[in-house]
Chains A and B, each alone.
Chain A
Amino acid sequence: MDERKIRVIVAKPGLDGHDRGAKVVARALRDAGMEIIYTGLRQTPEQIVATAIQEDADAIGLSILSGAHEHYFREVIELLKKRGAEDIIVFGGGVIPDDDVPVLKQMGVKAVFGPGTPTPKVIEWLQEAVQERRAKEHV
């Protein structure tokens, strides 16, 4: 198994200021032994993707509660593709209606965690997803 620490960008795209969830998740991931880069508020998709590439991140977690999730996930995923970094795992959370999840998944969002998700669930999922990603790297 790959022993490198999992590196995750936790980001707040756009203008939404609700950062409680993002910070709680970031802290839980950090306590689970991952390396977390929390971007702070008002990040553009460009900034988020640039940070992810620069930091050699395994995953990007986006937190959006303003209803603008479709826009920001799409932008981030397209930018990753453009920069040849589509192997970076994109996941997210916030106030995201169930009905929107299939659209996001189709775009390439790997998981969406709604309100009330216990942080261990995010941690476990991320550990597995990153292992899978790294396994592919070595093939």
Chain B
Amino acid sequence: MFKEEELEKISEARLKHEEEVKKTVQKYPERKSTFTTGGGVPVERLYTPENIKDLDYTEDLGFPGDYPYTRGVQPTMYRGRFWTMRQYAGYASAEESNERYKYLLQQGQTGLSVAFDLPTQIGYDSDHPMAQGEVGKVGVAIDSLEDMEILFDGIPLDKVSTSMTINAPASILLAMYIAVGEKQNVPADKLSGTIQNDILKEYIARGTYIFPPKPSMRLITDIFEFCSKHVPKWNTISISGYHIREAGSTAVQEVAFTLADGIAYVEAAVKKGLDPNVFGRRLSFFFNSHNDFLEEIAKFRAARRLWAKIMRERFGVTNADAQKLRFHTQTAGCTLTAQQPENNIIRVTIQALAAVLGGTQSLHTNSFDEALALPTEESVRIALRTQQIIAYESGVTSTVDPLAGSYYLEWLTNEIERRAQEYIDKIDEMGGMLVAIEKGYVQQQIQDSAYAYQRAIEKGEQIVVGVNKFQIEEKGTSRKILRVDPSMAEKQITRLKALKESRDNVKVKEALEEIRKAAKDESANIMPKILEAVKVYATLGEICDVLREEFGEYRESIIL
């Protein structure tokens, strides 16, 4: 980007400048001997054109909407329309959640994001012994299509886009959503939304796996194939770095492991005979926005460029939409402190701003009280308002990728890409992500980072305001927190029992046997059979039980 002559001039001037700085530093030493990003990338005092002398504008940055999409996936970005403000929410019962969704839509939220309770995520009905104590706790309990009908009652599915955080049983929840659409007379090809459907990061970091990797990958590619034909506007997967980061990874590891997961999915689908130019358009991503403001912005830009190269160079993808890394962002839950929780509002603001400057397509801002309990209505509203203030008041949305060209930011974007590529190469050498997970390599890397971070806090090398510096005496505050009504589980179980008595159980049995047959036949697509089963009100637990019998269950390899 710079002429040789110009660079020489800068170099000379810099040396002179540095001589002067040396004197200053001798008199007034800097705060630390070395500076690094939150993720441990060494940071210099100053960046100049020399640090990005090899940067080629059209090749490395290009224009927004053009390969390699460093500057964004759309040409007008937020001048056209803001990101989707999508708060993750789900409250105990389908009725309550339905009310909350309607409230959020009224408040100006533009998309829904469904949180399911853990039994639903792990394929147990509410009356299963393993579900005891967990029903309705971290999200809504869905046992059958009946619950899903209540959940979306009065919400027109052709008007909203819905993101569902569901992985191992993603096929079943997607099938239920399609079935609810049918009842509303909304055909499947008009539905838009996302299922998380990213099982690899469940093994790595999030923990809601059910089946072993091989059949899990098959369920995922079955969804890719089914949706390409029948639900073309649906994002069939949300390849997630969020939880990898929450588990303690660095920014570089987040990019590397997420894209390596992405590579594994693309490889599996290609192996099945699917065209990456087609299913590639419906792959979406999910990242974390952490504390180091500029590192996070650089991370999003680096991820976009690296994925575009992977799709084009590694998989020969020519379709532009299939090269674009579109992503959802959530601010980093692990940075929220239980101490002086109001400070979290500021943390979330900075993190949200990084996501916006990094070009996110949708955003969830955490509520300030989430280190204490599930968020209240008030705290959720503040979190949503934070996004709205960035969108409508801050001015950062008026021009596309405003920080491009910053010497530091461009250098850091390159550096994150380079370091992430090194990890990807290493994982390739090991035989791919499935092998790397099996060996515990990925988990170990993340845990080492998590432990190093904890040690840094305890040694005071890493300051967390209000936790290891600027503490105040806090009374055991009885703050208003959200509680789940304990009678909720009983009600849910009663409803489930009534359903099992009133539905046509012969049809249910037949439908479940059809699923079993499809599960045994690897060349079949299991998705249509699941759709038939949910329509006759087979429960999530019943369907997962059949699949457990056929596929077996995953056992975690314990790494410490």
Q: Are B207 and A118 in contact (CB under 8 A)?
A: no
A110 is an interface residue with CB less than 8 A from chain B: no
- Complex CA gap A116/B337 in Å reads 7
Q: B229 near A: Cβ within 8 Å?
A: no
Contact (A99, B481) CB under 8 Å given A66-B134, A71-B132, A115-B371: yes
Known: A26-B560, A116-B464. A66 touches B118 (CB 8 A): yes
- Within the complex, the shortest CB–CB distance from B166 to chain A, in Å, comes to 14
Contact of B334 with A by CB under 8 A: yes
**Of B138, B374, B450, B467, which contacts A116 at CB under 8 A?**
B467
In the complex, A72→B132 CA distance in Å?
9
> Whole-angstrom distance from the CB of B468 to the nearest CB of chain A?
7
Flag whether A27 is at the interface (Cβ < 8 A): yes
Closest chain-A Cβ to B290's Cβ sits at a distance in Å of 14
Q: Is the CB of A16 within 8 A of B476?
A: no
- What chain A residues lie within 8 Å of B182 (beta carbons)? none
The answer, yes or no, to whether B133 is at the interface (CB within 8 Å) is: yes
A113 vs chain B, min Cβ distance (A): 11
* Shortest Cβ distance from B446 into A: residue: A20
Q: Could you tell me if A27 and B373 are in contact, using CB atoms closer than 8 angstroms?
A: no
User: A20, B337: Cβ atoms under 8 Å?
Assistant: no
Instruction: Check if B462 is an interface residue, CB within 8 A of chain A.
Output: no
Cβ contact within 8 Å between B133 and A118: no
- Other-chain contact of B451, A27, A41, A68 (Cβ < 8 Å): A27
Nearest B residue to A10, CB-CB = B560
Nearest residue (CB) in A for B464 is A116
Q: Is the CB of B207 within 8 A of A115?
A: no
Contact of B207 among A39, A41, A68, A119 (CB under 8 A): A41
CB–CB A41/B556 < 8 A: yes
Would you call B130 an interface residue if the criterion is a C-beta within 8 Å of the partner chain's C-beta atoms? yes
B365 at the interface (CB under 8 A from A): no
Q: Are B337 and A67 in contact (CB under 8 A)?
A: no
Q: Does B478 contact A (CB under 8 A)?
A: yes
Which residues 48-68 of A have a CB within 8 angstroms of B? 66-68
Q: Which residues of A contact B558 (CB under 8 A)?
A: 38-40
A30 interface contact, C-beta 8 A: yes
CB pair B451 A99 closer than 8 Å? no
Contacting pair A24 B374 (CB below 8 A): no
- Whether A119 and B454, one on each chain, are in contact in the complex, defined by CB atoms closer than 8 angstroms, is yes
Q: Which residue of B lies closest to A75 (CB)?
A: B133
Minimum Cβ distance to chain B for residue A82 (Å): 17
Contact B373 A97 (CB under 8 A): yes
Q: A116 CA to B370 CA in the complex, in Å?
A: 13
Mask of B236-254 contacts with A, CB within 8 angstroms, 1/0: 0000000000111000000
- Is B484 part of the contact surface with A, judged by Cβ < 8 Å? yes
* Complex CA distance for A19 and B370, rounded to whole angstroms: 17
Q: Given A23-B450, A38-B560, A118-B468 in contact, is the A14-B478 Cβ separation under 8 Å?
A: no
Residues of chain A from 1 to 59 with CB closer than 8 A to chain B in the complex: 14-20, 23-24, 26-28, 30, 36, 38-42, 44
Q: Are A20 and B248 in contact (CB under 8 A)?
A: yes
**What is the distance, in angstroms, from A112's C-beta to the closest C-beta of chain B?**
12
Q: Does any Cβ of B come within 8 Å of A95's Cβ?
A: yes
Contact A16 B207 (CB under 8 A): yes
Which chain B residues lie closer than 8 Å to A98 at the CB level?
372, 476-478
Q: Is the CB of B373 within 8 A of A36?
A: no
Closest 8 CB pairs of A and B: A17-B207, A71-B133, A15-B118, A68-B133, A67-B137, A40-B558, A115-B338, A116-B467
Q: Which residues of A contact B (CB under 8 A)?
A: 14-20, 23-24, 26-28, 30, 36, 38-42, 44, 66-68, 70-72, 75, 95, 97-99, 114-116, 118-120
Beyond contacts A15-B124, A70-B133: 18 other A-B pairs, Cβ-Cβ < 8 A, are A15-B131, A16-B207, A17-B202, A18-B246, A20-B246, A23-B560, A24-B447, A26-B560, A27-B451, A30-B560, A38-B558, A38-B560, A40-B556, A41-B207, A71-B133, A98-B372, A114-B338, A116-B467
